[in-house]
């Protein structure tokens, strides 16, 4: 039979564990922590005066990893015993914070090619647990001068190309690159992806903004519109239209 511990003794044990984690973090940072301990320590910030070790284990069992926990929706998080709205909100903040800091670290990145962009974005795009459309505006030297995100499924959410054009012109963009993620596991572009990319080329090219690429990420795979020659096809189509009589009749 398990030994029964009174609440006062139990609180002392829990308090001691929290202090040990805090002391270890102060001395070594997170180097000596496993994922469950990292989660336990983080929960201790959001849930004061309560033992967060059991909750951390329940979360890890439910979502498989630390990234799985902080990527989970608030509805799923609060379904785990010990997790309230405050803790769920804090865990969601941690996910957004890691993405935000990754964006900050990329501000001085120089992108000279589509492969440079792919190397920069691959880790970031894998972290998103939702459909996300990313816009990178570059100056003439290839430096990232604006990194913006549009949430939503391209097949279901209208991407406002006019707003993208206004944004690009506002920061004096020389070239622009787009990326989005598929949660289906395959990066093959949909008809909507094709139509959107063609529209972007047709809108931005007359403004003197070069469309470098549109990259679709899915898990560890990707599809590059530039690499597949699609961007060049759309540019040739646009140039042919501009030189056609139909274009001259309109303008």
How many whole angstroms separate alpha carbon 183 and alpha carbon 224?
A: 17
Per-residue confidence at 22, pLDDT binned at 50, 70, 90?
confident
- Which residue shows structure tokens 């042919």? 240
pLDDT tens digits, one per residue of 237-251: 998 877 765 545 544
Per-residue confidence at 6, pLDDT binned at 50, 70, 90?
very low
Look at the alpha carbons of 104, 149, 235, 193 in this order and tell me if their dihedral is positive or negative: positive
How many whole angstroms separate alpha carbon 35 and alpha carbon 23?
A: 17
pLDDT the model gives residue 1: 33
Q: What angle do CA 68, 151, 43 make, to 5 degrees?
A: 30
For residue 229, pLDDT beyond 90: yes
pLDDT the model gives residue 103: 60
Among candidate residues 188, 214, 72, 184, the one with its CA nearest the CA of residue 129:
72
Do the Cβ atoms of 78 and 85 come closer than 8 Å? yes
Helix boundaries (H) for the chain: 7-28, 35-46, 53-63, 66-71, 74-77, 85-105, 114-127, 161-170, 191-204, 230-242, 245-250
For residue 170, pLDDT beyond 80: yes
Tokens (6 digits) for 171: 């920061």
Tokens (6 digits) for 37: 């301990």
CA 47 from chain centre, in angstroms, equals: 27
pLDDT the model gives residue 155: 55
For residue 14, pLDDT beyond 70: no
């Amino acid at each position: 039979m398990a030994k029964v511990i009174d609440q006062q003794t139990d609180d002392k044990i829990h308090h001691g564990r929290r202090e040990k984690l805090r002391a270890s973090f102060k001395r070594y940072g997170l180097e000596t922590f496993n994922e469950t301990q990292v989660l336990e320590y983080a929960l201790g910030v959001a849930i004061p005066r309560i033992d967060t070790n059991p909750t951390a284990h329940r979360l890890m069992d439910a979502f498989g990893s630390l990234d799985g926990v902080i990527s989970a929706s608030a509805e799923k998080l609060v379904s785990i015993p010990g997790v309230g709205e405050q803790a769920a909100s804090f865990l969601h903040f941690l996910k957004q914070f890691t993405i935000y800091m990754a964006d900050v670290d990329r501000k001085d990145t120089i992108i000279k090619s589509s492969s440079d962009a792919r190397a920069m974005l691959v880790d970031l795009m894998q972290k998103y647990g939702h459909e996300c459309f990313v816009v990178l505006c570059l100056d003439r030297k290839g430096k990232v001068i604006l990194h913006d995100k549009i949430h939503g499924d391209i097949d279901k959410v209208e991407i406002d190309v006019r707003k993208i054009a206004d944004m690009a012109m506002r920061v004096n963009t020389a070239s622009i690159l787009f990326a989005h993620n598929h949660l289906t596991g395959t990066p093959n572009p949909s008809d909507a992806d094709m139509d959107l990319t063609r529209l972007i080329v047709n809108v931005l090219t007359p403004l003197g903004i070069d469309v470098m690429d549109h990259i679709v990420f899915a898990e560890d795979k990707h599809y590059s519109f530039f690499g597949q020659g699609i961007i060049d096809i759309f540019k040739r189509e646009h140039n042919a239209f501009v030189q056609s009589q139909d274009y001259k009749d309109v303008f």
